Amino acid sequence: MALLRSLLNLFSSVRLGITLMVLIFLYSAVGSAGLPVHWNLLRPDAWLPLREAFDLSEFRWFNWWPFALLIGLFCVNLSVTTIRRIPFNRINLGVWMIHSGLITLSVGSVWYFGVKVEGDTLVHRRALSVSWGGESQTIAAVPGKRVSLRTADGRKADVRVAAIDPEATLEDGTRSVKVSLVARVDGKDMLREMQAGFPESSQDFIPSADTTGWSPVDGVAVDGFETTLDFAPEPYFYLMESRAVYLREVQADGTRGPWVERPIRNLPMFTDRLNERSRVWPEGGANASAQKKMSAIGLSAMHDNDPLPDIRMQVTDTLRYALPEVRRTDGGPAVDPTATVELSRTDDSDVRSFDLRALDPAARSALDGALEMRWVLDESEIDSMLQVRSGGLVVDGVSYPLTPGTQAPFGSGTLTLQSVSDDLVVGGERISVAVVGLQQGENEWVRWIFDDPTLTRDLDAQGQPIEGGLRQADIVTEYRPGSESSVRLVAGPGEEDLRLLIPGEDGGLVQDVRSGSWVDLGAGLQLRVVRYALRSQAERRPLVIPQDQRDRDVGFLASTVRVTCPEGVIRRRGLKDPWLLYHLYAFDGEVDLPRRYRFEPSELVMNDGRRFELLYSRRRMKMPASVVLDDFEVRSRIGGFTGETSSIRDWTSQLRFVKAGGGVSDPYRVHMNNPAEHQGLWYFQSQWDPPDPARREDEVDSLGLNHTVLGVANRKGVYVQLLGTILTVIGLAYAFYVKPVIKRRRLEVAKAAAGGQA
């Protein structure tokens, strides 16, 4: 009893209540804003996000046990204090309502956050289906998307989405999406314009007679070529602050199965965790990352359709902000010399670094050829390199400059020097070649002119060898590789040989540079070799970006995890690479990939030869009903959309939901601060698809509005929170306005009674 009495006295303490309220306020302030680290609190970097040091997001911070404990203690203190210290009567009714409202609000908040599910989903506006010769394929209607179909008898249909007008109107003013397709079907060129929801409005065009435009045709341009525009249902939404690895099998014919999720539980997301520094490149923030380690997180199969149910994988490391980078490292199976050299002025601390690869013509030189690296097979080649001699290209007795891109008259046509490659090592022999395009009348071909005339060959315009070797043997060609006065880093012929050659009229200079010391080049320049590998190999590792160089707007897009599988090897782009890049969504591939979104899955090759793909993203949850985007509207401020978000007044997504028995629901309009509810989930307007100009020659412009991004969440417990808030507000009004009136009237009655007695 004494212990119970002590506890009751403790939780009846007003001081304890005030202390708990102060702690809750401080906890909330630190979790929401952070700790101030600068006197100017309006600066973006004035607040240190302390919760990230504990690897907690804002949502997790307010679901962490310390906050739950503080709220629980506060509710107990409030309940005990109210019952023991505040009599229940008309005077104290407001206080009881305030305290009851706060407790109700706390209970509702625990319910709300305890079962809260929140995420987002990307919904395409339309899907394009193409059918030809018994084959069909469906892709997202996105400008620039391509479809290629090939029938069993070899006929082809190549289709490209040339343009999309997201705000087109029909003659009667009805809004629609207009999609323009450019296709080559069975050797015939055509253009088709389609209106979403109005297939009868489709129009085909064929090239005009003068080939400068398109002419409309009645009916269809190619029989059997069918295209349709329909909704693109999205069944999943992706959970915030969750991570997963997706797995799918790749068949021998290239077909892929569905993605199967394996969740990554308790993965640190705000801090780097690196168990071995050798797994990343040593520069940047690698030292800071190596300070924290993590225990491996198992990736076990949890779905019946997992293609590798008995194979266990692990996440061993995670990096918050790192970029993949390919470099050459030592340890390769064959001779492939590479070096990193530094060049600087003798009176300046500024140093420039260059990576050179001797056997790669595209990577063996720098500074426009003034610095290059070579591999020699014999010591006699050193003497040849020290001599400065000019090269030459001679065709039918006429000399041409050795400048790629040079075009000059040749007979009745033209000669174009396409490229020059010297000192290529092929089959243990060193060869040099000049590739020349020749045109005589209507005939065009390419001649590969070697320094060894017996190797010279002609290719036709399609790159195929010409029978007999030469199209016109009477055209006499000769190529002599030159030796320029560039500084050369020469490896070989011995495995330990690495020398610097400076050609000159007086025999030049040769100096060993394996020691890494600076070598004086004259003219105030010096050079040294900081890394050399004789048998190099390409290796990809993450480069950790230092904290002060990270862009907060990038978010988690630069995060990566390292995954291991004992029964296989993980590769990406042909290189062994266990680091998986983060993806916002687990797209199926190019068929449904929006513009400017990443899709770079890694490949898992099992020891038995089976192939799978891995993709690092967020966990996903199936919605009660798939959602489709019927229409999307943008209302801009005066002056129209300027490219800045501030010029937009509102975005509106008109949604429909797929019914279980087929068809879609009536439309729901979702825009800023106006969500819509369907079967227990609320849908919010989160992001949109802005206009996107082409950035490469093979791209087309996009007017945007091809998809929407919706926030998806449940809101259980909100009405309990609302009830608690209402009780608190009514209690405050009662305490500040009704209670004084009651007390004043009681005082007046008491005074009147006292006056009557007098």
pLDDT of residue 61: 86
Q: Are residues 264 and 379 in the same domain?
A: no
pLDDT of residue 346: 80
Task: Give a yes or no: residue 526 inside a domain.
Answer: yes
d(CA 383, CA 508): 9
Task: Give a yes or no: residue 62 inside a domain.
Answer: yes
Task: Give a yes or no: residue 729 inside a domain.
Answer: no
pLDDT of residue 380: 80
pLDDT of residue 395: 84
Q: Where does the pLDDT of residue 151 fall: very low under 50, low under 70, confident under 90, or very high at 90 and above?
A: confident
Residue 65 has pLDDT above 60, yes or no: yes
Q: How confident is the prediction for the chain on average, in pLDDT? A: 88
Task: Give a yes or no: residue 636 inside a domain.
Answer: yes
pTM (2 decimals)?
0.82
* 456-480 per-position pLDDT tens digit: 899 887 788 888 788 888 888 888 8
- Collapsing DSSP to helix, strand or coil, 23 comes out as helix
Q: Are residues 140 and 166 in the same domain?
A: yes
- Is residue 393 within 8 Å of residue 404, measured between CB atoms? no
* Cβ within 8 Å of residue 199, ≥6 positions away: 228, 229
Question: pLDDT: is 642 or 707 the higher one?
Answer: 707
The answer to whether the Cα torsion of 26, 32, 34, 40 is positive or negative is negative
Q: Are residues 509 and 363 in the same domain?
A: yes
* 625-678 per-position pLDDT tens digit: 999 999 998 887 776 665 666 677 888 999 999 998 888 999 999 998 899 999
* 366-376 per-position pLDDT tens digit: 887 788 898 88
Amino acid at position 495, single letter: E
Q: Are residues 676 and 527 in the same domain?
A: no
- Strand-pair partners of 137: 130
Task: Give a yes or no: residue 49 inside a domain.
Answer: yes
Where does a domain end: 561, 595, 617? Answer: 617
Q: Where does the pLDDT of residue 33 fall: very low under 50, low under 70, confident under 90, or very high at 90 and above?
A: confident
Where does a domain end: 440, 464, 480? Answer: 480
pLDDT of residue 390: 67
Task: Give a yes or no: residue 181 inside a domain.
Answer: yes
For residue 195, give its domain range.
Answer: 123-232
Q: Are residues 222 and 179 in the same domain?
A: yes
The number of folded domains in the chain is: 6
Task: Give a yes or no: residue 638 inside a domain.
Answer: yes
Q: Are residues 543 and 580 in the same domain?
A: yes
Q: Are residues 129 and 221 in the same domain?
A: yes
* 561-597 per-position pLDDT tens digit: 999 999 999 999 989 999 999 999 999 998 899 998 9
Task: Give a yes or no: residue 309 inside a domain.
Answer: yes
Q: Are residues 133 and 164 in the same domain?
A: yes
Where does a domain end: 55, 85, 115? Answer: 85
User: In this structure, what DSSP letter does residue 735 have?
Assistant: I
| Average pLDDT estimate for 740-746 | 87
d(CA 529, CA 650): 58
Nearest of 518, 532, 496, 501 to residue 356 by alpha carbon: 532
Helix axes 2-11, 65-85, angle to 10 degrees: 100
User: In this structure, what DSSP letter does residue 738 have?
Assistant: I
pLDDT of residue 22: 92
Q: Are residues 433 and 470 in the same domain?
A: yes
Whole-number CA gyration radius for the chain: 36
- Among 207-211, 560-564, 618-622, 728-732, the least confident range: 207-211
pLDDT of residue 745: 87
pLDDT of residue 566: 92
Q: Where does the pLDDT of residue 701 fall: very low under 50, low under 70, confident under 90, or very high at 90 and above?
A: very high
Q: Are residues 254 and 308 in the same domain?
A: yes
Q: Where does the pLDDT of residue 195 fall: very low under 50, low under 70, confident under 90, or very high at 90 and above?
A: very high
- Judging by DSSP bridges, how do beta strands 35-36 and 47-48 pair with one another? antiparallel
* 313-358 per-position pLDDT tens digit: 999 999 999 999 998 888 889 899 999 999 998 877 788 999 999 8
d(CA 532, CA 581): 30
Q: Are residues 530 and 563 in the same domain?
A: no
d(CA 82, CA 95): 8
| Average pLDDT estimate for 425-441 | 81
The DSSP result for 481-519, as a single string, is --B-S-EEEEE-SSTT-EEEEE--TT--EEEE-TT---E
- Among 259-263, 639-643, 745-749, the least confident range: 639-643
Reading the block at residue 364, the tokens are 């063996």
d(CA 603, CA 143): 28
Q: Are residues 215 and 251 in the same domain?
A: no
pLDDT of residue 283: 81
Residue 544 has pLDDT above 90, yes or no: yes
d(CA 432, CA 110): 76
The percent of residues above 70 in pLDDT, for the chain, comes to 96
Amino acid at position 609, single letter: G
Residue 732 has pLDDT above 70, yes or no: yes
